[in-house]
Structures are given as C-alpha cells and as structure tokens.
C-alpha cells in the first residue's frame, strides 16, 4: 500500500517501510468486531470492557463506540517492551483496574498479541478475581506465541512478523497517533 503524502511529517522523517492496514481497513474491521461482541453477550448482563494500556486506547475507543449495548470501561497497564522493539519477556503491572471483576462478563482488549507474555501473565490474575466470563479481543495477532493462557475470541487481523506502529502501537512512545498501522 502506498504511503500517504503526510507520512514523512507524521513520523518526523522516520523510515516507514509500508502501510500494513489502512485507516479504512481498520474502521471496517473494528465495526465488524463491535457487532460480533454485541451479539455474543447476553442482553441485560453486565459487560466490563477492560483495556490494556497504553497500546489499546485508540482501538478500545473505536471498538466501544461499535458495541451496541451498555458497557463499563476500565483499564490496566502492563509493560514488556521498555524502549526496544522486542519484548523483554518481563511483564510489569503498572496500574490495576479499579472495577470489580466478580460475577461480571469481562472483555480484555489488547492491541497486539506477539510473544504472549502479557496475556499469559494477566489472564490467570484476572480469572482469580471471579469473573462470570473472561474473553480476549485483540486488534492484531502475530500467531508466533507459544500456547496462550487464553486464545483471543475476536481478532482484528493476523499481523506480519514486522515491528508495527500506529493506531495506538508505538516505538518508544512515538507513532501512536498514526491513523493506520505500518511497519517501521
């Protein structure tokens, strides 16, 4: 896919190899996922959408607007990258959700599953809190992780093995604001 004219400005001149998913592709798939999630959960039951920050914030905002039912939103923060482009393998919890998970349907929203370290650390911790159900939704899945503690029920796109930026994904806290997903 060709690069938009303003990509040089948006990235501060950083080399973007190519756009992997356009803004239009993302919007279409997120709308589909929102409809699927709406249909999956029983009407009248509490749904907590739990975003894994920072990477999921744009995806979660767009997804939440596509879920046609009442929801509660909370966040947690975990980090496994630091300033590198490869997961360190060490998952650090920085912020724990304030909302109770007990007897609630919980949807954990992730930006990308690659090494699986974050999911494998968080899922058992969240299950201990007694949710009625716990499902995983991710925008991107690289399909390179060893078996996960929980497979994603909803996957936006199967991602290539490149380092990706944009639409919430960063490199050293840069590029989250790009409206598309690109390889760096």
Nearest partner of 50 among 125, 115, 116, judged by Cα: 125
Residue entry with tokens 């796109």: 157
- Whether 51 contacts 109, CB under 8 Å: yes
**Residue 114 annotated as catalytic:** yes
Of 62, 114, 158, 170, which one is the catalytic site residue? 114
3-state class (DSSP) for residue 124: helix
Cβ neighbours for 173, distance < 8 A, ≥ 6 positions apart: none
In degrees and rounded to multiples of 5, residue 172 shows phi and psi of 55, 45
Count other C-beta atoms under 10 Å from residue 5's C-beta. Answer: 7
Catalytic residues: 114
């Amino acid at each position: 896919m060709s690069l938009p004219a303003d990509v040089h400005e948006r990235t501060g001149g950083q080399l973007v190899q190519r756009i992997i998913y356009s803004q239009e592709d993302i919007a279409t798939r997120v709308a589909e996922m929102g409809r699927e999630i709406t249909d999956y959960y029983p009407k009248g039951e509490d749904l907590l959408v739990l975003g894994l920050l920072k990477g999921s914030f744009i995806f979660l905002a767009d997804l939440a607007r596509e879920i046609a039912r009442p929801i509660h939103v909370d966040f947690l923060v975990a980090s496994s990258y630091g300033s590198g482009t490869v997961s360190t393998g060490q998952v650090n919890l920085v912020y724990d959700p304030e909302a109770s998970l007990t007897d609630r349907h919980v949807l954990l929203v992730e930006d990308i599953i690659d090494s699986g370290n974050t999911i494998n650390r968080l899922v058992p911790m969240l299950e201990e809190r007694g949710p009625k159900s716990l499902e995983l939704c991710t925008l991107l899945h690289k399909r390179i992780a060893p078996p996960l503690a929980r497979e994603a029920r909803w996957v936006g796109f199967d991602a290539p093995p490149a380092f990706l930026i944009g639409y919430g994904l960063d490199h050293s806290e840069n590029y989250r604001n790009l409206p598309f997903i690109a390889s760096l």
